[in-house]
Chains A and B, each alone.
Chain A
């Protein structure tokens, strides 16, 4: 305890005026309260003092409000946090005639009331009969640190971490004392690291050079943006040639720390680029892998492949319309449905058009292009030309925060995983099933397979259906990443072709590696060249690559590979 007051008074330039002391007192109150809250539940007597303190809030006098906040904290009631939070957010009102306090949500001209004593619904009322309890900067600050100390005692480590970060945003004597009190009892590593970072940032203001030096060393390698800003401020030369930090040693240590931070930051930036590239590559692989099957096995260019993806994306949309209560599950339901829808359309295309055109690949290209135009127009007629909103399920939103400089958004992560699953299933189907065996046989030598009794027509239809179905599944993934509109397919078709051609036809591993490397290269070029130029450069590189290796990265070997 003495340690705390030492630090408090050691803050340079902070003269302990009456206001300061009052705030400090509140800080203590908050601390006591935290301990008290953990120790025992609210009793009846506290309920009365809580009610009285609430009544004191119904005033226009800020000093009185501040006192009332102190009383609320003293009361150690279970609803204190909710009331303070409501006060901070401006949703605390009092009734004009009897000065009773309510938490209220505004609905047009009326208020929906919540009784703070019981947290139960108290009906709706005319807004004009109520007055909002306003706050000023001073009060808000008090409230914030009071709330933060509440949250610091929360059993959930994430809430505690958020509270520490909130305190760090406006470090002052109160927050420092709150943090220091928590430091020793904190069990969670992440929270403890955050607390020591916060305290070290506060120590940078110490009058003692040794304390500052220790703080700088503590901050070395920290990825907290605030730590970076403060350290940079220390070594920035002012116009008159002086530094904010008078001590040479501390400055040097700060420079070293900044250097270290820079290294870590660029390391994580590289990681992030790599991850973005892999997720972009996964999208490309998903889009291209169905194409790789039809192109590789049947030597057929399916220009409607992009539109089959579009069908998959629209299937997701329709499924969400059908089950609006279960958005989370809708995406999972959409995967098999999209496979069936796109696969079914694929089989129709194969049976209706393509089978008449085998041996004429260039004409297949034209016919399927015609199909793609018709599919686009059908979608435009049914769903209009506007983009359709596809909701992202809650479990896909948000991001996985690895540290302050590196986070992974869940939707990108899931795309990578999803692609790997699809890839694995396809490999299994092609390598381990009887269908897969026949597909590979037809791909290698159609005439020979036929004479061995493989029904090539049947294999063709199923292969085309499989490839199209995968396109539909890719569409489900795309619906979570881009706009779902009639042009969705067109924007991916050229990329998909490039992936297939780059990877080598008839080789799924080639498609995987080709797609992933294209994604990473594209993402790596983007910061230097911009998104569009990066894409152009990749296209040009690919065109040149195909000149060197006309059959792609992993060309099909054997006699059948020649044309």
Chain B
């Protein structure tokens, strides 16, 4: 294994990865064709709603991979990934706001509607540059990444671990939520950013744009997956897993535990930011409720349901839980919280390896040897 070509190592050896990539490829190709090539009413036609929904799930899946990378492989239970997701989303939202131009309710060529409404005279400094896509795209990566670097540097250096780390990441998210709810922060207050028109010159609601966003999400998910898998298979990835299993021992052997944790954490935050940036144009709104502490915990439960420390498990969990959520909230909304709550309990009590672990148990001839510990 060690000597084979990296690309082969990425793809070979794990059935879950192969199944996932094959599925992603199929869906990524088939869904746009079914949406565009078949007329409405045809049995093979995929509605724009379903298409957007699937695109949304893919961004969630990317977010779940990001959490799985830090939690499943590095043992850092981050309750702050919703914040990185939302920050990426806001960066994209700001670009989309600037694209509205004179088509806003107040018709101001520069200022977004909410600023005109608040009687602001000029654009705040942090809104400059967001009229250019490349800058916004850069910010999608830089803002969550820098925040994670700064936060992680402070936290890991002073060896804040375990539940303490979980709690302060949650406090970070909470503080950001409170901040973004403020009108004078300049991010639209509790209404957030919405009513988008164009992305890269194309109408954001046009079928073609929807398909493009869907494909972009699929590509991002695939690349993000491969990147994470590459990291986990690399030498550094082995160290990261060693840190998860025995942090002190790894440190005494001579590895700089803090640096490994920091870079994994920052990379994961960047992935979350990208997921957020792809999420916003598809759902058409970003507001401070994305920062809610419960969102971060929900992401963790996706990963737990799917089976952490496997990456493809995270994807499966994200899709399953969100499909259940869509289904429940549409048909029997009052049952959703019961279902979600029970899911939390059942998964932690009875399915420590998630549905993927369950599937392994039934299909694999040899007993699952992968050790997953908290």
Contact = CB atoms under 8 A, between A and B. Distances in A.
Interface of A: 295, 299, 301, 303, 353, 356-357, 359-367, 369-374, 376-377, 380-381, 490, 494, 497-498, 501, 532-533, 535-536, 539-540, 542-544, 546-548, 550, 563
B162 interface: yes
Contacts of B139: none
Interface string B157-198: 111111110111011101100110110000000000000000
Contacts of A539: 171-172, 174-175, 178
A367 B170 contact: no
A234 B175 CA distance: 48
Given A543-B154, A544-B154, 17 more contacts: A353-B345, A363-B304, A366-B347, A370-B344, A370-B348, A373-B337, A373-B341, A494-B293, A497-B167, A532-B178, A532-B179, A533-B182, A535-B178, A546-B164, A547-B157, A550-B159, A550-B164
- Please classify the interface of chain B as helix (H, G, I), strand (E, B), loop, or mixed, using the class held by over half of its residues: helix
A480 to B, nearest CB: 25
A547 B163 contact: no
B300 A366 contact: yes
A363 B374 CA distance: 8
B327 to A, nearest CB: 17
A369 B334 contact: no
Contact of B337 (A353, A366, A376): A376
B181 A532 contact: yes
A356 B162 CA distance: 19
B374 A360 contact: yes
Nearest to A374: B341
14 contacts: A353-B349, A363-B348, A366-B300, A366-B348, A370-B344, A371-B344, A373-B340, A533-B182, A542-B171, A543-B154, A544-B154, A546-B168, A548-B158, A550-B160
Interface string B135-173: 000000000000000010011011111111011101110
B342 interface: yes
Nearest to B373: A360
A371 B163 contact: no
B117 interface: no
B338 interface: yes
A502 to B, nearest CB: 10
Nearest to B159: A550
B171 A543 contact: yes
Nearest to A353: B345
Q: Counting chain A CB atoms within 10 Å of each CB, which of B158, B163, B164, B338 scores highest?
A: B163
Nearest to A531: B178
B31 interface: no
B342 A370 contact: yes
A-side binding surface: helix, strand, loop or mixed?
helix
B297 interface: yes
A361 B165 CA distance: 12
A534 to B, nearest CB: 10
Contacts of B199: none
A494 B338 contact: no
A361 B337 contact: no
Nearest to B71: A362
A501 B167 contact: yes
Q: Give the 5 A-B residue pairs with the shortest CB-CB distance, closest first.
A: A370-B344, A373-B341, A374-B341, A377-B337, A539-B175
Contacts of A359: 374
A550 B158 contact: yes
Given A361-B374, A532-B178, A370 B341 contact: yes
Contact of A547 (B155, B170, B341, B344): B155
Given A369-B297, A369-B344, A362 B172 contact: no
B170 to A, nearest CB: 6
A547 B160 contact: yes
B162 A361 contact: yes
B77 interface: yes
Contact of B179 (A364, A536, A550): A536
Contacts of B357: none
A366 B346 CA distance: 10
Given A362-B77, A547-B154, A301 B345 contact: no
A367 B345 contact: yes
A497 B349 CA distance: 24
A115 B348 CA distance: 75
Nearest to B75: A362
Contact of B171 (A357, A363, A494): A494
A374 to B, nearest CB: 4
B352 interface: yes
B116 interface: no
B301 interface: yes
Nearest to A381: B334
B345 A371 contact: yes
